[in-house]
């Protein structure tokens, strides 16, 4: 719910109910609903779009350090199905769902408290504060859940690890590469999550406000569908290069000669050796995944929030 709507509601007869809901969201049971609806909606969207995430990671790891013709998502899909079977499209699903519940619950769940804190502290809830709130929520959430993301992309790249399982693979990573390996790529991952959450949530939030003010759309499915589609497109354009750098860092091994030193070094090396297109490897797959995932997440989250008695985002 945007700041203007909040101020309008405060002067209406139903203002007490609006404030009552906001107070209940800060109670223990309200907080559980608040973070729970966010986590569940992201987990469902992640499960439905996971095969696209596997393809995205494979696309991003093409021709590392080289220029050349890139295979597209369609041919890659056929190749994976032929060589590894349908189950390969669900590699890393367990850590992906685990991360979605934790990361999704925190990412969406921290956005509104951050936005309300900005409103309370600065007396404003404009687009800049929404962006700042989203960036804060995304960065904190990713920093806490980065080990699960590392495990997920490792499993997605190697179908041989399927027999070992996520717990055994995590033990192997720690024993072979050290505990710090679980936070590989945390820098660009946090930057990506900050950019993703800021662009996704702020765009969704602001799009809803603009559409309600300038179109006949009202709070409901069609408003949520339109706003989430816009948010998915904007967030893909902004985060695709950061996502590619994050994936490269998470998949490199400490023993590899000439490994990337950090996110900036990785981006520079990709630009230098693979060209500008290298930063958008897997870009279509990212949109094919992030677009539907964003739409499913927001539509389901809004529905669950309504059922739980919480205000719309």
Integer Cα distance of 73 and 57 in angstroms: 11
Helix boundaries (H) for 11-84: 15-25, 28-60, 73-84
Residue 122 has pLDDT above 70, yes or no: yes
pLDDT in tens, 237-281: 888 888 888 778 877 764 454 578 888 888 888 888 888 888 887
C-beta of residue 183 within 8 angstroms of C-beta of residue 189:
no
Tokens describing residue 110 = 């921290």
With vertex at residue 185, the alpha carbon angle to CA 180 and CA 187, rounded to the nearest 5 degrees, is 105
CA atoms within 13 A of residue 304's CA, in its CB half-sphere: 20
CB burial of residue 164 (10 Å; 0-12, 13-18, 19+): middle
**Region 9-38 average pLDDT:** 55
Residue of 235, 189, 218, 190 lying closest to 312 (CA atoms): 218
Across residues 129-134, what is the average pLDDT? 90
Residue 7 lies in a domain: no
- Examine the pLDDT at 213 and tell me if it is beyond 90: yes
CB 247 within 8 A of CB 57: yes
Residue 15 confidence (pLDDT): 36
Q: What domain range includes position 240?
A: 187-281
pTM, whole model, 2 decimals?
A: 0.70
Residue 196 placed within a domain: yes
Phi, then psi, of 298 in degrees rounded to 5: -70, -40
* Mean pLDDT, residues 123-131 taken together: 85
Q: What's the domain count of the chain?
A: 1
Specify the pLDDT at position 44: 94
Residues 6+ apart with CB under 8 A from 256: none
Q: Between 214 and 168, name the one with better pLDDT.
A: 214
Weakest mean pLDDT among 33-37, 85-89, 140-144, 286-290: 286-290
Q: Is residue 175, in this structure, part of any structural domain at all?
A: no
Residue 204 lies in a domain: yes
Cβ atoms of 136 and 114 closer than 8 Å? yes
Separation CA 113–CA 213 (nearest Å): 24
Note the pLDDT of residue 40.
Answer: 93
Torsion of CA 87, 88, 92, 93, to 10 degrees: -40
Gap between the Cα atoms of 226 and 206, Å rounded: 12
The whole-number average pLDDT for the span 148-152 is 86
How crowded is the C-beta side of 169, counted as CA atoms within 13 Å? 25
Residue 82, Cβ neighbours under 10 Å: how many? 8
Say if 249 falls within a structural domain.
yes
| Longest CA span, the chain | 68
Higher pLDDT, 260 or 298: 298
Q: Under DSSP, is residue 155 helix (H, G, I), strand (E, B) or coil?
A: helix
- Specify if 247 maps to a domain: yes
* Position 122 in a domain: no
pLDDT computed for residue 160 by the predictor:
63
Please tell me which residue, 74 or 25, carries the higher pLDDT value: 74
296 SS3 class: helix
Which pair of tokens denotes residue 31?
């907080």
271 lies in some domain: yes
Most confident region among 27-41, 73-87, 147-161 by mean pLDDT: 73-87
In three-state form (DSSP H/G/I as H, E/B as E, the rest C), the secondary structure along 70-83 is CCCHHHHHHHHHHH
Residue 222 has pLDDT above 90, yes or no: yes
In the structure encoding, which two tokens stand for residue 91, read together? 């590699």
């Amino acid at each position: 719910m945007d700041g203007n709507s909040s101020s309008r509601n405060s002067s209406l007869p139903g203002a007490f109910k609006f404030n009552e809901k906001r107070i209940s969201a800060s109670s223990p049971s309200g907080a559980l609903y608040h973070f729970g609806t966010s986590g569940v909606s992201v987990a469902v969207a992640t499960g439905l779009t996971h095969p696209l995430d596997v393809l995205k990671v494979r696309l991003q790891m093409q021709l590392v350090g080289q220029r050349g013709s890139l295979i597209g998502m369609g041919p890659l899909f056929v190749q994976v199905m032929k060589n590894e079977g349908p189950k390969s499209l669900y590699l890393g699903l367990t850590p992906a769902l685990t991360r979605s519940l934790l990361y999704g619950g925190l990412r969406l769940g921290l956005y509104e408290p951050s936005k309300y804190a900005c409103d309370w502290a600065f007396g404003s809830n404009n687009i800049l504060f929404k962006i700042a709130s989203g960036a804060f929520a995304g960065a904190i959430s990713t920093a806490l859940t980065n080990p699960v993301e590392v495990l997920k992309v490792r499993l997605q790249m190697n179908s041989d690890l399927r027999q070992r399982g996520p717990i055994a693979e995590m033990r192997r990573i720690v024993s072979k590469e050290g505990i710090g390996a679980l936070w590989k790529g945390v820098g660009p991952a946090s930057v990506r999550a900050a950019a993703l959450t800021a662009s996704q949530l702020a765009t969704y939030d602001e799009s809803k406000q603009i559409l309600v003010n300038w179109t006949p759309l009202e709070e409901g499915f069609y408003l949520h569908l339109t706003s989430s589609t816009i948010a998915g497109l904007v967030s893909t354009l902004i985060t695709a290069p950061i996502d590619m750098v994050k994936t490269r860092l998470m998949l490199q091994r400490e023993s590899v000669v000439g490994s990337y030193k950090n996110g900036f070094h990785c981006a520079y090396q990709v630009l230098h050796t693979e060209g500008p297109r290298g930063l958008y490897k897997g870009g279509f797959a990212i949109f094919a995944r992030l677009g539907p995932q964003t739409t499913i997440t927001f539509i389901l989250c809004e529905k669950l929030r309504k059922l739980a008695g919480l205000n719309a985002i």
